Amino acid sequence: MSDTRNDSSDIDPSVRAELTRLRESIDNIDAAVVHMLAERFKCTQQVGVLKAEHQLPPADPAREARQIARLRELAESAKLDPAFAEKLLNFIIAEVIRHHETIADGTR
């Protein structure tokens, strides 16, 4: 099967320049996302330690419901798909809960 995708030598120089400009912004945004997630996980790790020390459960479904409702509103006003925002938050929270369970296991 032949591959009909352009390789970089086929691309018009002005299109190539625009693509490069946009990709540089995407790379900056991806770096910001990684740094923000790292900061978020530093906070959630501390929450995990606090919960383990005080025998609190790793997950807090009521808090999660409030966060999801809030994030969906923020997403709507930012013109981001609220369902995507909810899936992303749930994905992150699932990882946090896994960390909290590991912390609690280590303190038992």
- Binding interface with ligand ISJ (CB under 6 A): 44, 47, 59-60, 63-64, 67, 92-93, 96-97
- Least distance in angstroms from the C-beta of 26 to ligand ISJ: 25
Tell me how far, at minimum, the Cβ of 35 lies from ligand ISJ, in Å. 17
55: left (phi over 0), alpha (psi -120 to 50) or beta: left
Name which of 21 and 63 has its Cβ closer to ligand ISJ.
63
Provide the minimum distance between the beta carbon of 72 and ligand ISJ in the complex, in angstroms, as a whole number: 15
